[in-house]
Amino acid sequence: MIACFDIGGSAIKAAYAAAPDRLTIGARVPTPLDSFDGFADAIAGLCRAHPGATTAISISIAGVVDPRNGRLTCANIPCINGRTIAADLSGRLGLPVFIANDADCFALAEALLGAGAGHDNVFGVILGTGVGGALVIDGRIVTGAGGFAGEWGHGQALATEVGEPPRRIGHFACGCGQKGCVDTLGGARGLERLHGALGGAPADSHAILAAWRAGDGEAARTIDAYLELVAPPLALTLNITGASIVPVGGGLANAWDLMEALDRAVRARVLRQVDHPLLVRAALSTEPGLTGAALLGFQELAARAAALPGAQA
């Protein structure tokens, strides 16, 4: 049995997996932010909460693990930022620990059990408060050097003008330290920022989308600009990765009319022309992070077993 965790800056969610597709949801506790001892104790307590014997721990987390040295970058949980978290927890709890970025776990779950099932090359996209992404090829997460593969939301990728006649937008500073990242305008907060940059009255993303659906001209201008800015870097990402399907999650994915418009804009720009949607609804609406963590854990345990002496005999 694998103890699975989906960890963010506010909460640790637990589940227990007897098989990759057999998940029992457990408790949810606040994330200790300032004490590694408190963090490790919270994980240990959740492991003990299940009556079965735990054989491994698998974690989906809002951070990035460098596959070369195992060091975690997780700015919103200071007590584990910069630590070799899998090794540190394993040494403390006496169990193997596997860990992956939350977008990676989302994409793995969708690739194996969700909307991407049957596809060899799946690119998962998160459009929530910000922008995330992950690549799964042949059922395995592609992390790449530094662990940043799939992060299409970062890097100077946005245009600086939209519309006809062209209107200058400029590049906004991103939390990653760069400017002009898709993350600055592609998520819900970015949509609101874009609306203001185009002269729209202050409004949250829900109000902007409602006004767009009602035929409001200012909102329509914002959505047109959003599509013009976000579709090209996503199309470029698909050209480079060769992904044949894009499960989409996150809060903005609930506005599926916007996602359908984004899909059309992306398909108009990719080299491989298809007459069916590339962007699709994520199929696993319940705890995809925990599901992805379970899948990751069983994959890693199987790989360890296969590497044991005599395993091929």
Q: Mind listing the pLDDT tens digit for each residue in 269-285?
A: 999 999 999 999 999 97
Domain ranges within the chain, ordered by starting residue: 2-101, 115-281
Question: Spelled out in words, what is the top-level CATH class assigned to the domain 115-281?
Answer: alpha beta
Provide the pLDDT for residue 160: 92
pLDDT band at 28 (very low <50, low <70, confident <90, very high): very high
Provide the pLDDT for residue 311: 67
Q: Write the pLDDT tens digit of every residue in 210-256.
A: 999 999 999 999 999 999 999 999 999 999 999 999 999 999 999 99
Across the chain, mean pLDDT equals 94
CA–CA distance from 132 to each of 14, 16, 85, 181, 234 (Å)? 22, 26, 22, 11, 11
Question: CA-to-CA distance for 213 and 261, rounded, in angstroms?
Answer: 12
**Maximum Cα interatomic distance, the chain, rounded to a whole number of Å:** 69
| CATH topology assigned to domain 2-101 | Nucleotidyltransferase; domain 5 (3.30.420)
Query: What residue type is 33 in one-letter code?
Result: L
Residue 155 structure tokens: 């890097």
Instruction: Give the rounded distance of the alpha carbon of 49 from its chain centre.
Output: 28
Residue predicted with more confidence, 263 or 155? 263
What percentage of residues in the chain have a pLDDT greater than 90? 85
Asked if 2-101 and 115-281 have one fold, the answer is: yes
> Do the bridges between strand 2-7 and strand 56-61 make them parallel or antiparallel, or are there none, so unpaired?
parallel
Residue of 226, 304, 295 lying closest to 2 (CA atoms): 295
pLDDT band at 165 (very low <50, low <70, confident <90, very high): confident
**pLDDT of 309 above 90:** no
**pLDDT of 313 above 60:** no
